[in-house]
Amino acid sequence: MHKRIGPTAAAVLVAALLTTTACTGTVPPDAAAAGTTPAPTSSPTPSAAPSAGASSAPAAPVPDTLRFTGTTLAGGAFDGTRLAGRPVVLWFWAPWCATCASQAWTVAEIAPKYRETVPIVGVAGLGEQRDMKNFVTEFDLGDMPQIDDRKGVLWKRFKVTEQSIFVIIDRDGKVVHQGFLDGESLTARVTALAGA
């Protein structure tokens, strides 16, 4: 079942896309200010909260941490508000990063298993789109959302300054972890969140 995007949500999406700035691998001060605060909104949009097929029945309130949009590497629109009501893992990676490559095997293994309970969303940056797409193909990551963040908007918003960082957000929208995780630690955290 597909839901229509209302005119207000479409306007917010267009405004967010138009305000992005170029990223050269560093965070320019003026862009950081633009990317770290969520788009102002006068009313929450709980109807856009869970995605179709999500395991949560009632619409969850949308925390500020999930009020972001982006474009996937496949060219589709991504709306963070659809993740509301569930714990979420954001994985900030770069296509040339050896550590990211070693973590990719674990991410590819656990992401499908926890897709509905603890979604893992890749946030690719610090590289060229062609290289990002090759990385996703090489490590079989195509079944999970991969946001193309070459402009660094989400990296700045979550204050990520280096690649291979996991940001774990609990079901209430609170960031409960931000930093490096090896495969075993990531698996343990996601398993615990799925059972909580």
Contact criterion met (CB below 8 Å) for 154 and 123: yes
For the chain, the distance separating the N- and C-terminal CA atoms, rounded to the nearest angstrom, is: 28
pLDDT band at 100 (very low <50, low <70, confident <90, very high): very high
Predicted confidence at residue 136, as pLDDT, reads 96
Q: Helix (H, G, I), strand (E, B), or coil: what is residue 178?
A: strand
- Res. 35: pLDDT tops 90: no
Is residue 1 domain-resident?
no
The domain of 51 spans 7-195
- pLDDT tens by residue, 126-158: 999 999 999 999 999 988 999 999 999 999 999
Say which CATH number the domain at 150 has. 3.40.30.10
| pLDDT, mean over the chain | 77
Strand segments (E) across 18-76: 69-71
Predicted confidence at residue 24, as pLDDT, reads 30
- pLDDT tens by residue, 45-98: 333 333 333 344 447 789 999 999 999 999 999 999 999 999 999 999 999 999
The CA distance from 36 to 67, in Å, is 11
Tokens of 30: 């003026």
- Res. 163: pLDDT tops 50: yes
Is residue 2 domain-resident?
no
Number of domains in the chain: 1
Predicted confidence at residue 195, as pLDDT, reads 87
Question: Considering Cα of 68, then 130, then 150, then 105, what sign does the dihedral take?
Answer: positive
